[in-house]
Structure 1
Amino acid sequence: MRKGRIERKTKETSILVEVDLDGTGDYAISTGIGFLDHMVEQFSRHSLIDVSLKVDGDLHVDQHHTTEDSAIALGQALAQALSEKAGIGRYGEAHSPMDETLARVVLDISGRPYLVWKARFTQEKLGEWDTELIEHWFHSVAQSAGLTLHCQVLYGSNNHHICEALYKGFARAMRQAVELDTRKGGAVPSTKGQLGG
């Protein structure tokens, strides 16, 4: 049972997140930011990772703490569910088209967090969500889950499509990386015998 559950409470946010790596893409997402909800729903549905995420954040201040803390908690839950990472594929990659946009996401569940971000937005908001927070969300997930994560928009012009293609690409890459490979016989996919150290 590869499941993770994280409760995170600070003066800025109160968060409960649960994930199941062997799920079917079921989700229940409530962050208080509609577009962020939509993107995490896309992540769950296309990764087949069940995600339950409830956030009460200080949205009267701005969206930064809710965005950052929810990504940290989600990453921690993924890391908890992965445990020693035994038998996983480890690597994942996806090209994700959405109309005129094409995004590429490549990742390694390495335990060495790093984000390479090659995407930009030409408007300040998607719905009510500040687009400058999108890169920060990916950075926070990569840091807390221990991912080496490369996100690139190869081309595209519609900001909604750009964002959604990135999230769907991330989802499909994660689906590959977390899946168990029976040929590995439960071994950690590293010549070191461990990941992240």
Structure 2
Amino acid sequence: MMEVQRIGEVTRRTAETDIHVKWVLDGAGTARVDTGIGFLDHMLTLMAKHGLFDIEVSCKGDLYVDGHHSVEDIGICMGLAFARAIGDKAGIKRFGTFYVPMDEALVMVSLDISGRPYLHYDVALDVPSIGHMDAQLFEEFFRALAFNAGITLHINCLYGRNAHHIIEAAFKALGRALDAAAGKDPRIKGVPSTKGVL
């Protein structure tokens, strides 16, 4: 019996953004990303690479205002796409934790595909921006992703000085943790919960 391919696709248009996302969970790590924010493109590309996801993300947003609407709405759409791709959650491992070192920085991401959205974000950045991206917007992206994907997400920077290294480690760790949690285990029958639902 052929395994059903897990794919989530979302198109969302508002007065502020026009976004399309396609997320293939069981992919090869390829990405086509054009958000209008170069640093975010780079982060989503490496998240896909290390999570072995195939993703397409395009966004036309009101960047003449600032990046907030685009970044938050991309997080919303990616979260919705992930939720659609994961489907009924039958057979998934559910939990994923990964540590990524990036030179002097070490970041841990731990998550649960629980249906109970939550974000714990303990990442202090002492710069106003990285590239052309407002440093405050990383938390907004992760929150929008977590709440729309229905995952409990913890991101902790254990230590580090270089903001680029810290955020890059966070996105790589997120990719690996999502891959681990979304992975299937043939020993798991139905959803991995004593409640019988997630």
TM category, shorter: over 0.9
RMSD (CA atoms): 0.6
> Which residue pairs with 2:179 in the alignment?
175
Deviation digits for residues 1-22 of structure 1, max 9, x if unmatched? 1001000000000011001111
Q: Which residue of 1 aligns with 2:110?
A: 106
Aligned partners of 1:137 and 1:5: how far apart in 2?
Answer: 18
Q: Percent identity?
A: 47
Read off the aligned partner of 1:16 and give its amino acid letter: H
- Name stretches of at least 5 consecutive residues in structure 2 with no aligned partner: none
CA drift of 1:126 comes to: 0.4
- Note the alpha carbon deviations across 1:40-72, whole angstroms, 9 max, x for none: 111100111111001000101110000000010
The one of 76, 79, 83 equivalent to 1:79 is 83
Relative to the length of structure 1, the TM-score reads 0.97
The match for 1:194 is 197
What residue is the counterpart of 2:119 in the other structure?
115
Structure-2 residue corresponding to 1:93: 97
Give the aligned residue type for 2:110: V
Choose which of 41, 46, 54 in structure 2 pairs with 1:37: 41
Aligned residue number for residue 58 of structure 1: 62
Given residue 189 of structure 1, which amino acid in structure 2 is its aligned partner?
A: P
CA–CA distance in structure 2, aligned partners of residues 119 and 15 of structure 1? 27
Q: Identify the residue that residue 140 of structure 1 maps to in structure 2.
A: 144
Kindly tell me the number of residue pairs found equivalent between the two proteins.
Answer: 194
Q: For structure 1, which runs of at least 5 residues remain unmatched after alignment?
A: none
Whole-Å separation in 1 of the counterparts to 2:176 and 2:49: 9
Provide the C-alpha distance between the structure 2 equivalents of 1:129 and 1:157, rounded to a whole number of angstroms. Answer: 18
TM norm structure 2: 0.97
**4+ runs deviating over 3 angstroms:** none
Residue 166 of structure 1 pairs with residue 163 of structure 2: no
1:7 counterpart residue number? 11
